[in-house]
Amino acid sequence: VSVLGIDIGGTRLKAGRVDESGRIEASRTAPTPGDRDSLRATLDSLIGELGGASVNGVGIGCKGIINPATTRVEVLPGTLAYLEGAVLRDLVPAGMRVAADNDARVAMAGELMWGAAKGRANALMLTLGTGVGGAIVADGRLLRGATGVAGHIGHLTVDPDGPVCICGNHGCLETFFSARAIESEAFAVVHRGCASRLAGNPTCADVFRAAAEGDAIARGIIGRATRALGAALAGLLHILDPEVVIVGGQISEAGEALFEALKQEVRWRTRRLLRREVPIVPPRVADPSGIIGAAALVR
Ligand SMILES: [Zn+2]
């Protein structure tokens, strides 16, 4: 069986042939086209280069809300808005099995098949980046909900009167913990002229670096954000009782500094009810491209 994984990103289109042990045998990338017809043509040539008629299945990961039953893109704001209403299955050559879902669930599918959630019936995944993505496996099923929205952990309310979120709610988790939230907090302290080694327009990585170097202001920003994340995660553990929590995404590259603080926060909040420590681990399918997870989806 020859299976391809495809990631439709805002700027890059990535495709790869993935073997049965989750290794990428060959891959191609192309700039993401600006309309549906060009996208279909580009997918056609990528699939052709990666095996053409010998390909049996194609898994597609895409941002937004995807209906996995029909592969229709229900909601997709931003540069890929032209895909709203498109049926992804119609964009690849006929005769291939096609599965599609949003990028967070695709990452979880990869972890379920080859990674940190392998053999688990209950698992939780968070991707910490510009926003916070999530995917939930409960009692052996990848949760999708009634309309495909389930798993949007970034929009869990952690402060009813908190900052306004892109989703319209106030105080969502990602208004406290996300690259955007940490960067706007850092910019605010620079703008107010606080005594800190943060300067200019600091990136999230700059703030983590300054915190590691002992900068009190940066430590305060990271500490507050991590407390919100830990509190949200504690609530999710009480609700979902998972065997493992997988924390990935660009911010998770901060490593031990983040994981240790997060574990401490979760530990004291959950010890009475859960009576055990739930492992909080990085993803095992090291695949920033999203190709492997997409292939897992169709396998
Ligand atoms: Zn929100």
pLDDT digits 0-9 by tens, 90-118: 999 888 999 999 989 999 999 999 999 99
Average per-residue pLDDT in the chain? Answer: 95
Q: State the pLDDT confidence band at 272, using cuts at 50, 70 and 90.
A: very high
Enter the tokens of residue 258. Answer: 């983040």
Expressed in angstroms and rounded, the spacing between residue 107 Cα and the centre of ligand 1 is: 21
Q: State the pLDDT confidence band at 78, using cuts at 50, 70 and 90.
A: confident
Query: Residue 87 gets which letter from DSSP?
Result: B
Enter the tokens of residue 206. Answer: 């700059």
Q: State the pLDDT confidence band at 203, using cuts at 50, 70 and 90.
A: very high
Enter the tokens of residue 256. Answer: 């031990």
- Run of H or E residues at 4: strand 3-8
Q: Half-sphere exposure of 98 toward its Cβ, with a 13 Å CA cutoff? A: 22
Residue list, CB under 5 A from ion ligand 1: 155, 165, 167, 169, 172
Expressed in angstroms and rounded, the spacing between residue 119 Cα and the centre of ligand 1 is: 32
Expressed in angstroms and rounded, the spacing between residue 39 Cα and the centre of ligand 1 is: 30
Expressed in angstroms and rounded, the spacing between residue 239 Cα and the centre of ligand 1 is: 20
| pLDDT over 80 at 1, yes or no | no
Q: Within its chain, how far is the Cα of 231 from the centroid? A: 19
Enter the tokens of residue 82. Answer: 């032209």
Expressed in angstroms and rounded, the spacing between residue 21 Cα and the centre of ligand 1 is: 37
**Hey, is 91 helix, strand or coil?**
helix
Expressed in angstroms and rounded, the spacing between residue 205 Cα and the centre of ligand 1 is: 23
Residue 201 to residues 163, 194, 215, 288: CA-CA distances in angstroms?
20, 14, 16, 26
Expressed in angstroms and rounded, the spacing between residue 181 Cα and the centre of ligand 1 is: 12
CA distance 14 to 1: 20
Expressed in angstroms and rounded, the spacing between residue 48 Cα and the centre of ligand 1 is: 40
CA distance 145 to 150: 5
Expressed in angstroms and rounded, the spacing between residue 47 Cα and the centre of ligand 1 is: 36
CA distance 113 to 297: 9
pLDDT at 40: 95
Expressed in angstroms and rounded, the spacing between residue 76 Cα and the centre of ligand 1 is: 15
Query: Residue 93 gets which letter from DSSP?
Result: -
Pairing of strands 57-62, 65-67: unpaired
Expressed in angstroms and rounded, the spacing between residue 53 Cα and the centre of ligand 1 is: 43
Expressed in angstroms and rounded, the spacing between residue 50 Cα and the centre of ligand 1 is: 38
Closest CA to 175 of 121, 232, 217, 125: 232
Higher pLDDT, 148 or 185: 185
Expressed in angstroms and rounded, the spacing between residue 165 Cα and the centre of ligand 1 is: 5
Expressed in angstroms and rounded, the spacing between residue 65 Cα and the centre of ligand 1 is: 15
Expressed in angstroms and rounded, the spacing between residue 234 Cα and the centre of ligand 1 is: 19
DSSP E strand stretches across 214-267 = 244-248
Mean pLDDT of 60-70: 92
What percentage of the chain's residues is helix, strand, coil (to nearest 5)? 40, 20, 35
| pLDDT over 80 at 291, yes or no | yes
